[in-house]
Homo-oligomer: A and B are copies of this chain.
Amino acid sequence: MGSMKVHQFARGFWEHEPSLTLGCKRLRPLAPKLSNTDNTPTTVPPFDLKSFIRPESGPRKLGSSDDKRETAHVDTHPGGTRWNPTQEQIGILEMLYRGGMRTPNAQQIEQITAQLGKYGKIEGKNVFYWFQNHKARERQKQKRNNLGLNHSPRAPGVTTTTTISSSLTHESRVGV
């Protein structure tokens, strides 16, 4: 397999907007059984659950790393369930988050994925989801804290670090 063009779906269509590799696997285990009474015009492909859950031999869309060298597998290589981040990965992600990154764009996701890939199997969408979830859940936490906040006018313990060096070259700051 020399230079073979992968599916067009990977490259050609999303070239304008940065996109990331997303797997074509991992579908919900719920019954793929549609109500067959309706005529689904497009042939709903028979969902081969097993083949989807085993992406190893499946066709990759993009971002296929040259080698996967799973022979040694430092990590669990969970056999095709959901991503289970390692401690290093989490650490880096949290660092990025604390650094101000909230919704990285495709370029950033690509790079992050590449970096985190050194510590374990990971895909771009994992990074994407992680930021989504982390952001949302941090907000939840904060809100919860705010609700029960009418007790001590001053936050005990945590002195809100106002020593922020305000000016920073964070261009990736979309929200806030």
Contacts and interface: CB of A to CB of B under 8 A. Distances in A.
Interface in A1-59: 7-28, 30-35, 37-45, 47, 49-57
Contact of A51 (B40, B95, B111): B111
B30 A175 contact: yes
Given A32-B176, A146-B37, A115 B52 contact: yes
A128 B20 contact: yes
Interface in A71-123: 77, 79-80, 92, 95-101, 103-113, 115, 123
| Residue from A32, A51, A107, A160 with most neighbouring chain B CB atoms (10 Å) | A107
30 contacts: A13-B27, A13-B123, A14-B27, A14-B123, A14-B125, A15-B25, A15-B79, A17-B22, A17-B24, A17-B125, A18-B57, A19-B20, A20-B109, A21-B103, A23-B106, A24-B107, A35-B146, A38-B100, A40-B101, A41-B98, A43-B99, A43-B165, A49-B95, A52-B115, A53-B96, A53-B172, A54-B107, A54-B171, A55-B172, A56-B171
